[in-house]
Structure 1
Amino acid sequence: MLSICVAVSACGRGDHIGKAPSFSNPLETREHSAMITTALPAVIEEPTALTQASLWSGQRGSLLGDRRAVNQGDIMTVVIEIDEKAEISNESDRSRSGSESLGIPQLAGLPQRLDEKLPDGASSSDLVSINSNSSSSGDGSVKRKEKLTLRVAATVVDVLPNGVLSIAGSQELRVNFEMRELLVSGYVRPEDISRQNEITYDKIASARVSYGGRGQITDVQQPRVGQQILDVVLPF
């Protein structure tokens, strides 16, 4: 019984047996570490007494200030809008035929003498005759359609030496004993961030987007561990 419990826990399913899946600890995420780590700001502002009281100053806290994420620990919004459709069709057709024939009807009278000793109906006039035909055809098609619209807040976890921002974001939503998880990470340029402090997924380099879940419904839809192992091991 102990071994069974250990195996279930190892598969990640022991967390929600008889209860809803647990949220991950936000204090153990990369986002939290980036927020509590003191880092040198990318833009050093030295406001004067005149600009501190002005609504039109360029400070981040002013009315027209630039509030885009530029420093480690800053937060931005990642907009994921995927609506893609791909259709590929291939068709091939190949045929080949060949014929070879070898005969010696006259060779110093030897074929006639050989025919006398052959069974009835056999003749040496056509000793070898080979015919071959081969044909092959193939059809293949791929149809794929994806549509996904999501928005998630991401945190700047690191500022690279060239000024590029490394971001990471996570979002968890639990509904009816099922946990939906959204993970996003990648690298963005500060100039690609909009004035609304948003960036689209197509401007994220090395983008990694994961949208899935865990819970009782996901466990039922997934094949068992033994079946997955057999699918890998069995050659047929």
Structure 2
Amino acid sequence: MHRILPVLVLGMIAGCARLDHVGKAPDFSPVSASREYAAMAHGGPAYGARSGIRGEPASLWRGGRDSLLGDRRAQQRGDILTVVIEIDESAQIANSTARSRSGSESMSVPEFLGLPQRLAEELPDGAGMDPAVSANSSSSSSGDGSVSRNEKLTLRVAATVVEVMGNGHLKIRGTQEVRVNFELRELLVTGFVRPADISRRNEITYDKIASARISYGGRGHITDVQQPRIGQQLADIFLPF
């Protein structure tokens, strides 16, 4: 019993995670506790404070990121860029293998100074020397396998530069939550990007993100119904049959 009690306690703790939306819609994650907020709150100075070379107050040309032709692409910790996720992939693999083999061995000594005939007289009924040894074997195997996959996902999410790496690459993280009735849809994007891959529109596609982690899921009443109960999940893990 003392071994089962910790498992029951863990199951009860895991089940408590769903109590936040019993009878109500799930709550949004607090923005002030996110890494994006920390990066923007403690990142570099604002555009106007790091504009670089400026002209005279009456000049029509001003350098810097806040000017008309300035480079507004994300560069520093706390900057924001748009991640474009357009996944439209399909894969189909089919394999078929077949193998067969047959063999036959036979040894016969019909005449050898009359000894086989004399020896056959001494053998019990049903035994003989013609053929002395005979063996046959055959084997065959076949296999078929196929894989078919089709994925399509189109999303856009604003991500924040949370860290500038030592080689100049940017670590980004973007989260998005959309609540419809009692269901909360969550989108998470993290990874590393090169500043040169960011377009002039301050966008980057998902295929240019190294170590990309893209999660699109949700939580709420519908998700709870689609998931097996905690006890059933534990039973599937521990039961041997």
Corresponding residue number in structure 2 for 1:111: 116
1:22 to 20, 27, 38: 27
The offset of 1:38, in angstroms, is 4.0
For 2:222 and 2:20, how far apart are their aligned partners in 1? 14
Deviations 1:94-139 (A, max 9, x none): 1111112233333454432332344544322223221111111111
Deviations 1:207-234 (A, max 9, x none): 1110111112112212233433444445
Q: Does 1:10 align with 2:21?
A: no
For 2:141 and 2:19, how far apart are their aligned partners in 1? 52
Residues 134-173 of structure 1: matches in 2 within 5 Å? 134-173=139-178
In structure 2, list runs of 5 or more residues that go unmatched: 1-6
> Cα gap change, 1:75/1:121 in structure 2, threshold over 3 Å: closer, same or farther?
same
For 1:55 and 1:5, how far apart are their aligned partners in 2? 69
> Cα gap change, 1:54/1:212 in structure 2, threshold over 3 Å: closer, same or farther?
farther
Deviates more, 1:213-222 or 1:165-174: 213-222
Contact 1:20 1:178 in 2 (8 A): yes
> Cα gap change, 1:61/1:41 in structure 2, threshold over 3 Å: closer, same or farther?
closer
> Cα gap change, 1:64/1:18 in structure 2, threshold over 3 Å: closer, same or farther?
same
> Per the alignment, in what secondary structure is the counterpart of residue 210 of structure 1?
strand
In structure 1, list runs of 5 or more residues that go unmatched: none
Corresponding residue number in structure 1 for 2:73: 68
For 1:96 and 1:149, how far apart are their aligned partners in 2? 52
1:87 to 86, 92, 114: 92
Contact 1:41 1:72 in 2 (8 A): no
For 1:127 and 1:235, how far apart are their aligned partners in 2? 52
Partner AA of 2:144 in structure 1: D
Deviates more, 1:11-20 or 1:178-187: 11-20
> Cα gap change, 1:65/1:53 in structure 2, threshold over 3 Å: closer, same or farther?
farther
Partner AA of 1:210 in structure 2: S
> Per the alignment, in what secondary structure is the counterpart of residue 220 of structure 1?
helix
RMSD: 2.7
The offset of 1:4, in angstroms, is 7.3
> Cα gap change, 1:127/1:226 in structure 2, threshold over 3 Å: closer, same or farther?
farther
For 1:148 and 1:140, how far apart are their aligned partners in 2? 27
Corresponding residue number in structure 1 for 2:188: 183
TM (norm. structure 1) is 0.87
Contact 2:55 2:63 in 1 (8 A): no
For 1:4 and 1:177, how far apart are their aligned partners in 2? 29
Residues 118-137 of structure 1: matches in 2 within 5 Å? 118-137=123-142
Contact 2:103 2:138 in 1 (8 A): yes
For 1:192 and 1:33, how far apart are their aligned partners in 2? 25
1:33 to 22, 35, 38: 38
For 2:202 and 2:212, how far apart are their aligned partners in 1? 18
Say how many residue pairs are matched: 233
Corresponding residue number in structure 2 for 1:58: 63
For 1:148 and 1:213, how far apart are their aligned partners in 2? 15
> Per the alignment, in what secondary structure is the counterpart of residue 19 of structure 1?
coil
The offset of 1:172, in angstroms, is 0.6
Contact 2:51 2:63 in 1 (8 A): no
